[in-house]
Amino acid sequence: MTRSLVRIFVASLATAGLLALALAALGDITARGVLLRAGVVAGGGVLSMGVLLLFLRLLKVEELAMLAELGRSLRGRLGGR
């Protein structure tokens, strides 16, 4: 359990670092339109989930299999394939 927590923590730190670099590269966007800022927030959320999932897979976090099974179960209950 402790190993998984450490791996999850490392993956989260790496994701946060990459997102911080991306936001710093964007610079100050407060003077731009609301749609652009909303796009940055939405895009950052999607990007962070994808990057975090990638890091969790690279670090071989065991609980990911349980999460995938939960996703398949929910999809089956909600009428998906």
Q: What is the pLDDT along the chain (81 residues), one digit of tens a residue?
A: 788 888 888 988 998 988 888 888 888 888 888 898 888 889 888 988 888 888 888 888 888 888 888 888 988 888 765
Q: What is the pLDDT of residue 5?
A: 86
Q: What is the pLDDT of residue 81?
A: 58
In 3D space, the residue among 60, 57, 51 whose CA is nearest the CA of residue 3 turns out to be: 60
Q: What is the pLDDT of residue 3?
A: 85
Q: pTM, whole model, 2 decimals?
A: 0.67
Q: What is the pLDDT of residue 2?
A: 83
